[in-house]
Structures are given as C-alpha cells and as structure tokens.
Amino acid sequence: MELRQTTSEDQEAYGRAVMSAFHREVSAEERERYARISEPERGLAWFDDGELVAGTSVFTRRITVPGAMVDCAAVTGVGVRPTHRRRGLLTELMRRQLQDVHERGEAVAALWASEAAIYGRFGYGPAAGAAMLRARRPAARLAPPPPRGEPLRAGPAADHLEAMRPVYERERARRPGMLDRDGPWWDDRLFDPDRRRDGAQALQAVVVDDGYALYAVKPAFGWEGPTGEVHIRELVAGTPRARAELWAFLLDQDLTTTLSWMLAPVDEPLALMLSDPRAVTLEVGDALWVRVVDVGAALAARSYAATPDVVLDVADPFCPWNEGRWRLDGGGCERTRAEPDLALDAAALGAAHLGGTTLRALAAAGRVTELRTGALERASRALRSDAEPWCPEIF
C-alpha cells in the first residue's frame, strides 16, 4: 500500500474510487465540473498495487470568521472503497492532510460531514448549522406586504450573475462561515445539469437592489389541482426590505403549494414576517464542521465581542503541535505556562470558532471544563458572533 499526493493523471480513478464510497457513478457532466474546480496537487490517495482505493482532497478557499476573512482548506472528496474499509486508511489520510495544511500555513480547515460520527475524532467540530425550511401556500403570507420598490428582475440564473456577485460579497464580509467565490466558484454554484433537477425547471434567479434568490419550480398536478413546489437554492439579502421583496415573490408563485429550502440559515426570520408563523417550519441540523489547524494563528486572526483574557488548555493528540496552554487576550494568542482557566479539546475549539456554537453550550455537554470560576462565562461571551454562522454551499 502506498500513500501519496495525486496528480492530474489520477483524477478519473480518484473520482471512481471516491464516488463508489457514496454508491454513485460520476457522469460526464460531473467529470467536466470537477476538472474546472479540482486541485489535483492538493489531493492525497492510497494505492493498492497501483489501484487508487481511498482519497481526500482540498479546495483552496477563504472563509469568513468573526471580524476577518482567512485562508481555509476546504476538505472535499473523502472516500474509501468498500473493499478497503476498516483498515485505518482514512485515519492516515486525515493525519497526513492536516500536516500538509499546517505546513501551508492555513490555520483553519472545514468540511461537510456525510456522517456526523466520523470527523470529531480528527478534531473537527460542528461550527455552523443549517435548516430545512418548509412553507405552506397560501397560508404563508407576509404581514404586512412589502412596499413596491424597483421592478424585480428575474430569469435564468446565469443572466443575473453580475448583479448577484456584489450582494454576495457584502453579505459574506459580515457572516462567518461563508466562502469566497473567486475563480470558478460562481459558475460552480450555478451548476444545474438536467439529472439533478428531479423534474424542476432550470435554475432561476430573482434580483432586487440589495438581494437575490436562486430557485426553481417543480410543477405538479393532482386531482384537486396544482401541487407544484418552489425549491430555493440560495437567498441572500442585505436589508429587511430586500428580504421581504424576495420572499413576497417566492411565496407568490402560481400553481405551487409548498416552498422548501434545504440549507437555510438557522436564524432565517421568515416565520416572524408572516401573518401565520405556523405556515413555516425549520428543522435544524449540523452543517459546516471546522478544524482549528493552528491554534495560535486561528485565534489571533478573528475578532472577539469582548476581551477574552483566558488561558486555554487544549488537548489535540491528532495534531500535537496544538497541544498545551494558550493565552487568549486582546493582543493575540500565544503559548503560556500560566495556570489554565478552561480545558477543551480541538473538536470543541473548532465548534466554537465561528462564534455560533457557544463555549457555554459545550460545557453543558461536558465538552469544556471550567477550571477558574467566571472564565467560562467571560470566554463564551467573547467568542460569540453577532451574526449566526452560515455556509450556503456544500463543497
């Protein structure tokens, strides 16, 4: 067995091996898509007698953390062929990958976990949630309806790309968890092959002055009449008025009875905008998992709601360079020999890094130990973000 970096020549075999772990085959359209966004030099794979049997890769992105945008290793394409599971291949892939990320100077890694039980043991923690939002028409009506503004612009999503870019950038700057979309990433966000539509129309966009939504309508009819569905891929609004205008449009699609949004932010305020709040439901779950790869650099890069002034005793056997005591104060984060105030592991630190999962909640779950009275409340308040973390895209 050989573990090595992948090359462009390995990409077809890599796709077959990783997708087999997800019981899927790679279509021609998806192969073209991955060719546009993949970075073969950031891939790692196990080879058994020359056959690629397990792999993981990274997209080079930037992620918003409280008060800053930082380099991020966006981990993707993790899989082991069914014939080679339970041999420790994934553990060694994750270990080598985090070593490589650390050597590149990326202080943070992030991923979407296909199975939530896997990545905690490698130091990742659930840092941003997402909600499955469902709304019922015609009960879901805004109260009051938004005032008439500039005319809405709507049509095929690609036709409105240039109007959406600046809106996304403004929102990305303020909300932790969002990623940059330089290079091929906007085109990838609009990727919409027929086989993924499940009977819905091609991806559409609706744009207002300070907001936009990506959506598609799936028409359907029953004996009692139309039962179409509005599927939202993304809604970004910089002002309450923009949000109201977008929702008014989406909730007023003729021939539809339901609206769904699979990756809505957990703080989406639609229910508070309706005359009947029960016409919308949100089912919340984990979304983006974060790994603090370099404790000192990661904690120094972000801002804080108040001065933390706390000594953290970090346990991180998977990345031993992070082990030990760190003083976090208004001037940065450095190693110290001082007595610790809080004890926690790398996964708990990753969960709290975007400011959504609080240290207080982690302590209640037994994941953080308060060693000095008052330190937990002070640190939890300092690490909290004003904006709830959200990542609208799975990578």
Contacts of residues 192-195 at CB distance under 8 Å and 24 or more positions apart, as own/partner, are: 192/157, 192/216, 193/27, 193/29, 193/30, 195/27, 195/29
pLDDT digits (tens, 9 = 90+) for 303-340: 999 999 999 999 999 999 999 999 999 789 999 999 99
> Which residues contact residue 259 at a Cβ distance below 8 angstroms, ignoring those fewer than 6 apart?
133, 134, 135, 137, 140, 229, 230, 231, 232, 250, 251, 253
The topology under which CATH files domain 295-383 is: Nonspecific Lipid-transfer Protein; Chain A (3.30.1050)
Give the Cα separation of 207 and 248 in Å (integer): 12
Please state the pTM of the whole predicted model: 0.95
The boundaries of every CATH 3.40.630.30 domain in the chain are 2-128, 130-285
The topology under which CATH files domain 130-285 is: Aminopeptidase (3.40.630)
> Which residues contact residue 232 at a Cβ distance below 8 angstroms, ignoring those fewer than 6 apart?
133, 213, 214, 215, 250, 259, 260, 261, 264
- Written as six digits, the tokens of 286 are 């984990």
Give the Cα separation of 59 and 360 in Å (integer): 32
Q: What mean pLDDT is predicted for residues 55-68?
A: 97
pLDDT digits (tens, 9 = 90+) for 338-362: 999 999 999 999 999 999 999 999 9
pLDDT digits (tens, 9 = 90+) for 163-190: 999 999 999 999 999 999 999 999 999 9
Give the Cα separation of 291 and 67 in Å (integer): 18
Superfamily classification of domain 2-128:
Gcn5-related N-acetyltransferase (GNAT) (3.40.630.30)
3-state secondary structure of 86: coil
Q: Is the dihedral of CA 100, 129, 265, 284 positive or negative?
A: positive
The answer to whether residue 5 scores a pLDDT higher than 90 is yes
Give the Cα separation of 178 and 182 in Å (integer): 13
Work out the number of other CB atoms within 10 angstroms of the CB of residue 239. Answer: 12
Amino acid at 301: A
pLDDT digits (tens, 9 = 90+) for 209-229: 999 999 999 999 999 899 999
- pLDDT of the residue at 76: 97
Single out the catalytic residue among 14, 47, 119, 168: 119
191 is catalytic: no
- Strand pairing report for 44-48 and 2-5: antiparallel
- pLDDT of the residue at 382: 97
59 is catalytic: no
- Written as six digits, the tokens of 179 are 């990623």
Answer yes or no: are the C-beta atoms of 214 and 205 closer than 8 Å: yes
The boundaries of every CATH 3.30.1050.10 domain in the chain are 295-383
Spell out where the chain has E strands: 2-5, 44-48, 51-65, 68-80, 108-112, 125-136, 153-156, 204-208, 211-218, 221-222, 225-226, 228-237, 256-264, 280-292, 310-315, 324-329, 332-335, 342-345, 368-370
pLDDT digits (tens, 9 = 90+) for 152-164: 999 999 999 999 9
Please name the helix (run of DSSP H) or strand (run of DSSP E) that holds residue 352, with its range, or none: helix 346-352
The answer to whether residue 260 scores a pLDDT higher than 90 is yes
* Average model confidence (pLDDT) across the chain: 96
